[in-house]
């Protein structure tokens, strides 16, 4: 049954890729406005020159709707794959990096679709589907491992609490980083005075900065709880709360970077470009902790193949 559980995951990766292509077409369609030929209307007032029409909104909206629809279909296949993995393993599907990556990306796509449904924020479509297609693609090709029983250290209720908090934090940190990157792109365009094409459809730079800050404010306490829950779990599994294991160390490094981000924003008034770059540094450390530590180091968190 292990092979059948991977089919929805592969399918979701392909659908996310198609959704990314649709959103890329959406961005491209908005880059150059279409114009109509200049016509002369004969009347009592003489010739009248008609102004160029607005960009082909129907084409932009069509590609956007296709992208969102494909993402929703991909999310259904994705979540089905996570559920089937858990059913086949007869446990929660969070026992290795493959399962953790796919589960975290599932939270991310749900977060994005809720934002589209509640706020109509389809402008997140291209970067989010890029993250999903790359993440799922790596999961099914590089990180995949066969179903296996949980190692003894994972048999704890704190395993569930710790992993759920970490997965939700992962989704929030990545969405916040996407907003920070779009902020930097939009800011440069506003500075040049050439906010055109799809960039004109993004929220203003200040709104992107504020959105990124609000998501970070949500994610940081949850990440703090993730580390604390992990410490309690470590005491249960290994008899100590903290041991400077590589995963523990990089979790702390990530926490320090995000703490510096929030502290700088609240006390030093860091807004805009400097804060955005600090947020990007934070997500880089998060991904290194998420993936790099598992691949490059050996520690107590190295189990289940990857």
For the record, the structure tokens of 170 come out as 């992962």
* Residue partners of 79: CB distance under 8 A and separation at least 6: 106, 110
Q: Has residue 40 been placed in a domain? A: no
Residue that has been written with the tokens 């559980």 in this structure: 5
User: Cβ-count burial of 101 within 10 angstroms (0-12 exposed, 13-18 middle, 19+ buried)?
Assistant: buried
A 10 A CB-CB count for 135 gives 23
Q: Has residue 111 been placed in a domain? A: yes
Residue that has been written with the tokens 């160029």 in this structure: 52
Mean pLDDT of 12-29: 92
8 A C-beta contact, residue 140 and residue 10 = yes
> Strands, E, within 47-192: which ranges?
none
Task: Determine the Cα–Cα distance for residues 120 and 127; give it in Å rounded to an integer.
Answer: 16
- Give me the pLDDT at residue 94, please: 79
Backbone angles phi and psi of 71, in degrees to 5: -65, -40
Task: Determine the Cα–Cα distance for residues 46 and 161; give it in Å rounded to an integer.
Answer: 75
Give start and end residues of each alpha helix (H) in 268-303: 273-287, 293-296
Residue where a domain stops, chosen among 149, 183, 215? 149
Number of domains into which the chain is organized? 2
8 A C-beta contact, residue 293 and residue 250 = yes
Please indicate whether residue 35 or residue 254 has the higher confidence score (pLDDT).
254
Q: Tens digit of pLDDT for each residue in 53-75?
A: 455 677 778 888 999 999 999 99
- Give me the pLDDT at residue 1, please: 58
8 A C-beta contact, residue 286 and residue 252 = no
Q: Tens digit of pLDDT for each residue in 151-190?
A: 766 677 877 888 889 889 988 999 999 999 999 999 988 8
Residues 210 and 173 placed together within one structural domain of the fold: yes
CA-CA-CA-CA dihedral for 92, 97, 98, 99, to nearest 10:
20
Mean pLDDT of 198-227: 91
Q: Tens digit of pLDDT for each residue in 117-143?
A: 998 888 899 999 999 999 999 999 988
- Give me the pLDDT at residue 306, please: 58
Q: Is 245 left (phi over 0), alpha (psi -120 to 50) or beta?
A: beta
Least confident of 1-5, 56-60, 71-75, 105-109: 1-5
Residues 113 and 178 placed together within one structural domain of the fold: no
Give the domain range for residue 106: 1-33+54-149
Residues 166 and 306 placed together within one structural domain of the fold: yes
Three-state SS at 282: helix
CA angle 21, 285, 154 (to 5 degrees): 95
- Give me the pLDDT at residue 217, please: 94
Residues 124 and 164 placed together within one structural domain of the fold: no
Residues 265 and 209 placed together within one structural domain of the fold: yes
Residue where a domain stops, chosen among 100, 125, 149? 149
Q: Has residue 92 been placed in a domain? A: yes
CA angle 115, 161, 85 (to 5 degrees): 75
Residues 94 and 178 placed together within one structural domain of the fold: no
Residues 169 and 297 placed together within one structural domain of the fold: yes
Q: How many C-alpha atoms does 88 have within 13 Å on its Cβ side? A: 19
Q: Has residue 38 been placed in a domain? A: no
Please indicate whether residue 55 or residue 235 has the higher confidence score (pLDDT).
235
Radius of gyration from C-alpha coordinates of the chain? 23
Residues 128 and 185 placed together within one structural domain of the fold: no
Three-state SS at 299: coil
Angle (deg, nearest 10), helices 157-192 and 125-138: 140
Residue where a domain stops, chosen among 95, 115, 149? 149
Q: Tens digit of pLDDT for each residue in 236-286?
A: 777 788 878 888 889 999 999 999 999 988 887 777 898 999 999 999 999
Could you say which DSSP state residue 288 is in? I
Confidence of residue 2 (pLDDT cuts 50, 70, 90): low
Residues 131 and 261 placed together within one structural domain of the fold: no
């Amino acid at each position: 049954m292990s092979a059948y559980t991977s089919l929805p995951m592969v399918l979701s990766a392909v659908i996310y890729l198609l959704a990314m292509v649709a959103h890329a077409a959406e961005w491209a369609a908005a880059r150059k406005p279409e114009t109509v030929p200049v016509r002369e209307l004969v009347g009592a007032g003489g010739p009248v020159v008609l102004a160029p029409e607005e960009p082909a909104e129907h084409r932009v909206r069509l590609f956007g709707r296709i992208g969102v629809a494909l993402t929703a279909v991909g999310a259904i296949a994705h979540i089905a794959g996570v559920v089937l993995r858990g059913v086949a393993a007869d446990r929660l599907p969070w026992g290795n990096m493959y399962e953790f990556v796919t589960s975290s990306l599932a939270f991310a796509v749900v977060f994005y679709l809720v934002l589209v449904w509640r706020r109509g924020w389809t402008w997140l479509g291209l970067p989010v589907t890029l993250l999903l297609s790359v993440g799922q693609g790596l999961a099914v090709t590089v990180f995949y491992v066969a179903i296996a029983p949980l190692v003894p250290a994972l048999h704890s209720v704190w395993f569930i609490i710790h992993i759920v908090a970490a997965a939700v934090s992962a989704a929030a940190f990545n969405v916040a980083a996407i907003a920070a990157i779009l902020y930097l792109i939009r800011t440069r365009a506003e500075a040049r005075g050439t906010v055109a094409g799809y960039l004109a459809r993004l929220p203003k730079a200040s709104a992107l900065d504020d959105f990124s800050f609000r998501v970070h404010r949500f994610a940081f306490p949850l990440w703090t709880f993730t580390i604390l829950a992990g410490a309690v779990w470590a005491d249960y599994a290994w008899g100590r709360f903290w041991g400077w294991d590589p995963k523990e160390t990089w979790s702390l490094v990530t926490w320090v970077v995000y703490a510096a981000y929030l502290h700088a924003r609240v006390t030093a008034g860091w807004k805009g470009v400097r804060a955005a770059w600090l947020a990007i540094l934070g997500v880089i450390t998060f991904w290194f902790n998420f993936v790099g530590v598992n691949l490059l180091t050996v520690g107590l968190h190295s189990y289940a193949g990857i």
